[in-house]
Amino acid sequence: MTPRREAGFPDDEPWRVPSLRESRYSQSLERGLAVLACFTPERPVLGIGEIAAELGMSPSTTHRYVLTLAVLGYLQQDASRKYRLAVRVTDLGMSALSTTGLREHAHSYLEELRTQSSYTVSIAVLDGPEIVYIDRARSFRRGQAKIDLGLRPGAHRPAYCTAMGKVLLAHLPEHELSRTLNEMRLERRGPNTLTNKGVLRRELAQIREDAFAVNDEELAPGHHAIAVPVYAHSKEVVAALGMAAHNSMIPLEAMVEHLRPPRTSSPRAWATAAPTRRRDKPASSLHVARSCCKKYAS
């Protein structure tokens, strides 16, 4: 999804003030923020022409905004005379994550679960069609570098191809889910990425029933993960807790087997393209999620 679409503008229309005008609305501020939104993990370095084309603004106007942002410390120019986000933007993002309280309260629980399991553990929230990583406790096992994927607190990834994202999508109200799915383009990122919205909807319905999701090489080759929701006292899902590993470290089925509670009834097949998956709920993850939530919501 482009920054212009996120701001509510069709991609094929030039930059304009929204029809619902507000006397205190600052178009200049809107444009400046839109310039910053052009920079993504996939496109970290951009030239004036690229930004201008993305936003439908003239190069001269774009240059004014970019120069202002660079002087203020939000952009920096490299040797190629193109621009990238500067550290000050990171400071703002980390400040925003800290003010939620979730990162502060979750961190010790993530560290505990990482120690118990030896795998990478993360917590994330939904931001439109993407998830934002609030915190991440990285595994020290051999093979971890294969699934790092540039993931860190503040990183965004598409919700549809991550276990945490699917958990969060599954617990959206129907009208919000429909709107979010309409905004998505399901592009293939791994060998098993779901690219059909009908199939994705069916999996989300199953996840909503089970309160448990898996990612089997949907985000990247060799990368798999499991995730559970984190609930507030109001029973609202406020975040997702996930555990990830490379398939050279542990098979997905073994990861699920390791985390499920003692079997009290015959297991039911996980209703996805991989019929051998189990959908038993991971006791350790749910325990940590509930503990984290209890402290966060209090």
Domain ranges within the chain, ordered by starting residue: 3-92, 100-297
H helices, E strands: number in the chain = 11, 8
Q: Find where tokens 């909807």 sit.
A: 201
CATH for 3-92 (1.10.274.30, 3.30.360.10, 1.10.10.10, 3.20.20.60): 1.10.10.10
Same fold, 3-92 and 100-297: no
Structure tokens at 202: 């069916």
- The C-alpha atoms of residue 156 and residue 129 are separated, in whole angstroms, by 10
Give pLDDT, residue 281: 40
- Mean pLDDT of the chain, nearest integer: 75
Burial 71-93 (b: 16+ CB within 10 A, else e): eeebbeeeeeeebebbeebeeee
Tens digits of per-residue pLDDT, 154-193? Answer: 788 899 999 999 999 999 999 999 999 988 989 999 999 9
Would you say residue 58 has pLDDT above 80? yes
Topology (CATH) of 100-297:
Beta-Lactamase (3.30.450)
Tens digits of per-residue pLDDT, 76-92? Answer: 888 788 998 887 776 66
| CA end-to-end span of the chain | 36
SS3 content of the chain, % helix, strand, coil (to 5): 45, 15, 40
Helix (H) or strand (E) holding 22: none
Rounded to an integer, the average pLDDT of 251-259 is 74
Rounded to an integer, the average pLDDT of 257-278 is 36
Would you say residue 255 has pLDDT above 80? no
Percent of the chain whose pLDDT exceeds 90: 24
Give pLDDT, residue 101: 65
Tens digits of per-residue pLDDT, 28-55? Answer: 888 888 999 898 877 889 999 999 999 9
Tens digits of per-residue pLDDT, 100-129? Answer: 567 767 777 788 888 777 788 889 988 889
Would you say residue 144 has pLDDT above 70? no
- The C-alpha atoms of residue 20 and residue 97 are separated, in whole angstroms, by 30
**What's the predicted TM-score (pTM) here?**
0.61
